[in-house]
Amino acid sequence: MAKKVHVTTTVNGDEHEFLCETSQTLVDVLRGELELTGTKEGCSTGDCGACSVIFDGNLVCSCLVLAIEADGKSIETIEGMADGKELHPLQQKFLELNGLQCGICTPGILIAAKALLQRNPDPTETEIRFWLAGNLCRCTGYDKIIRSVLAAAAEMREG
Amino acid sequence: MAEEGYVAPHTVDEVVSLLVEAGGDARVMAGGTDVLVQLHADLIEPGLFVDIKNIPELRTIAAEAGGFRVGAAVTSMELVDHEAFNAAWPGVVEGVALIGSVQVQGRATMGGNLCNASPAADSVPPLIAAQAVAAIVGPGGPREVPVEDIITGPGQTSLDQGEILVSFLFPPRAPHSGDCYMRLTPRTEMDIAVVGAGINLTLDDAGTCVAARVALGAVAPTPLLVAQAADALIGSKVDDAAMAKLATAASSACHAISDKRGTKLYRIKTVGVIARRAAEKALERARKN
Ligand SMILES: Cc1cc2nc3c(=O)[nH]c(=O)nc-3n(C[C@H](O)[C@H](O)[C@H](O)COP(=O)(O)OP(=O)(O)OC[C@H]3O[C@@H](n4cnc5c(N)ncnc54)[C@H](O)[C@@H]3O)c2cc1C
Ligand code: FES
Ligand code: FES
């Protein structure tokens, strides 16, 4: 019954095309059709932030975006974060300061933190905690995540 | 019945004709943060999604008639980032900034928050307190309705078949005016209001309150505009006695239910406290401008 729709979109600077059904979510297509499985799906209801991507410049939950909305838009996912083999300072600090354990929440948190630092290169600890309130982590207890973001921000400010 | 599909028209008129044609089988989608959750929980099964985010009129914040007109599909984040609107209506911004996470706020809209018609919708009490007017367009043409007349019950609005909310008009701000929205939640973020209060007040040069509006959320099937609570402030210097009367009036207006977020008694007590705290903040703001 449901006919498929053709969508053209830009992901991490590369143009992609896919077919999707109207009710399919962006996270579904990113992972299923485009095989970009770095973006995780936890809750599918906007509560956990594991599916965070930057959609047309805005940090969003890709489980709450229809894939069809991506037509003509540009999307940034975790796969576009490192520059070739060189990790983004956020990724590097998460490794050094143990900002992750199982890693399920990590792509979403890195994307969310990247969006924060683009907006505010020098956030306070409180600002980071509020900004990341929509990203749940079951493992780390958050403290190491916050420290990693603070350290990455400091390094990025120094250039 | 329309074929299952998705459309993203560029004009309000197109939306209205699509909605009329679909005759109830279509669903308007703004940010989708309610609609897509409902879709995936199988609570709704629309034949057609009508995405309203590509309509410039619905995406604009503009000065008008000494106040502001805010498109129904402007996102929370866009409002949070709008300096002039923040200066005039910090309480409304407090409401939209409490909607979900940053991720949700990148998509959520005030139009969607109002039309989803949750008793606990966070932007609705401050919109009502601000005396915002909703501009609606439908098959019968345009009409204007005070925000407090939109929600008629949980999930129910007074919008007719084929109508959409286009924008909110905020009145001009008199000198010495201030507003505030506060809610009570166990968590500071990512939680649903146990109770909420939006307060908007204006003082004269001598500091006497000459106008006030008080709206409460999550204490009844719909957000409430409580005239008795506003009357407690009007004519007073917004002193302790007036604040105590405000709290009592807010508690008496509470028709809450008991649920997992709080018992009825807890809501009756706390809505008075929250209304008072919000009034204190609104007063502080009014004295500064
Ligand atoms: C994780 C999470 C946390 C949340 N936290 C909160 C919270 O703390 N407080 C809170 O109040 N809400 C919260 N929400 C609910 C939701 O984000 C808000 O209600 C939001 O404002 C809805 O806006 P939207 O644009 O996404 O609406 P949509 O989902 O696009 O639409 C909602 C409803 O309104 C209708 N509609 C939308 N726009 C119009 C229009 N212009 N004309 C006519 N009908 C229209 C739609 O058909 C639909 O029925 C949360 C949601 C999530 C997923
Ligand atoms: S999967 Fe999208 S927020 Fe949890
Ligand atoms: S590292 Fe396991 S959920 Fe965060």
* Same domain, yes or no: B45 and B60: no
pLDDT on residue B1: 40
Residues B272 and B209: their CA atoms lie apart, in Å, by 19
**Contacting A residues, span 65-94, partner chain B, CB-CB under 8 Å:** 65-66, 68-69
| Chain A contact set for B106 (CB, 8 A) | 55, 58-60
Structure token digits, residue B156:
């129910």
Report pTM: 0.96
Q: How confident is the model at residue B24 (pLDDT cuts 50, 70, 90)?
A: confident
On whether both B29 and B112 belong to a single domain, the answer is no
Number of compact structural domains in chain B: 3
Cβ neighbours of A116 in B, within 8 Å: 102
Chain centroid to Cα A1, Å, comes to 33
Q: Give the Cα-Cα-Cα angle A95, B105, B172 (nearest 5 degrees).
A: 140
Q: Are residues B42 and B141 in the same domain?
A: no
Is the domain of B256 the same as that of B190?
A: yes
Domain boundary among B170, B191, B224: B170
Are B218 and B271 in the same domain?
yes
Among B172-176, B193-197, B283-287, which is the least confidently predicted range? Answer: B193-197
Q: Let me know whether B190 and B143 are in one domain.
A: no
Please tell me whether residues B142 and B238 are part of one structural domain: no
Q: Which domains does chain A have, with CATH numbers?
A: 4-80 (3.10.20.30), 89-158 (1.10.150.120)
Please check the confidence at residue A152 and state whether its pLDDT lies above 60: yes
Contact indicator for A39, A107 with CB cutoff of 8 Å: yes
Query: CATH number for the domain including B22?
Result: 3.30.43.10
B127/B221 same-domain check:
no
Q: Between A44 and B188, name the one with better pLDDT.
A: A44
Q: What residue in B sits closest to A56 (Cα-Cα)?
A: B106
pLDDT at B3: 52
In this structure, the answer to whether residues B38 and B94 fall within a common structural domain is no
Query: Sorting pLDDT into bands at 50, 70 and 90, what band is A2?
Result: low
CATH of the domain at B152: 3.30.465.10
What's the pLDDT score for residue B2? 40
Share of chain B above pLDDT 90, in %: 89
**Ligand 3: centre distance to CA A134 (Å):** 14
Name the closest-CA residue to atom 32, ligand 1. B112
Q: Can you tell me the distance from the alpha carbon of B144 to that of B150, in angstroms, rounded to the nearest whole number? A: 10
CB A46 within 8 A of CB A65: no
Same domain as B209, residue B245: yes
Distance, in Å, from the CA atom of A146 to the CA atom of B132, rounded to the nearest integer, reads: 39
Instruction: Please give the residue range of the domain that contains residue B114.
Output: 56-170
> Atom of ligand 1 at shortest distance to CA of B122?
11
Question: Is pLDDT above 90 for B283?
Answer: yes
3-class DSSP state for residue B153? strand
Q: What is the pLDDT of residues B235-260, one digit of tens each?
A: 999 999 999 999 999 999 998 888 88
Residues B29 and B94 in one domain: no
Best probe residue, ligand 1, of B51, B94, B113 (max atoms within 8 Å of C-beta): B113
SS (H, E, C) chain A: CCCCEEEEEEECCEEEEEEECCCCEHHHHHHHCCCCCCCCCCCCCCCCCCCEEEECCEEEEHHHCEHHHHCCCEEECHHHCCECCECCHHHHHHHHCCCCCCCCCHHHHHHHHHHHHHHCCCCCHHHHHHHHHHCCCCCCCCHHHHHHHHHHHHHHHHC
Residue A29 CA to residue A36 CA, distance in Å, equals 9
- Rg, Å, chain B Cα set: 19
Summarize pLDDT for B115-168 with one digit per residue, the tens. 999 999 999 999 999 999 999 999 999 999 999 999 999 999 999 999 999 999
Q: Which residues of A touch B102 (CB under 8 A)?
A: 59, 112, 115-116, 131, 133-134
Residues B138 and B187 in one domain: no
Does pLDDT of A7 surpass 90? Answer: yes
Q: Mean pLDDT for chain B? A: 95
pLDDT digits (tens, 9 = 90+) for B68-85: 999 999 999 999 999 999
pLDDT of residue B261: 83
> The domain that contains B279 carries what CATH number?
3.30.390.50
pLDDT (tens digit, 9 = 90+) per residue, B26-36? 999 999 999 99
Pull the structure tokens for residue A34. 């485009």
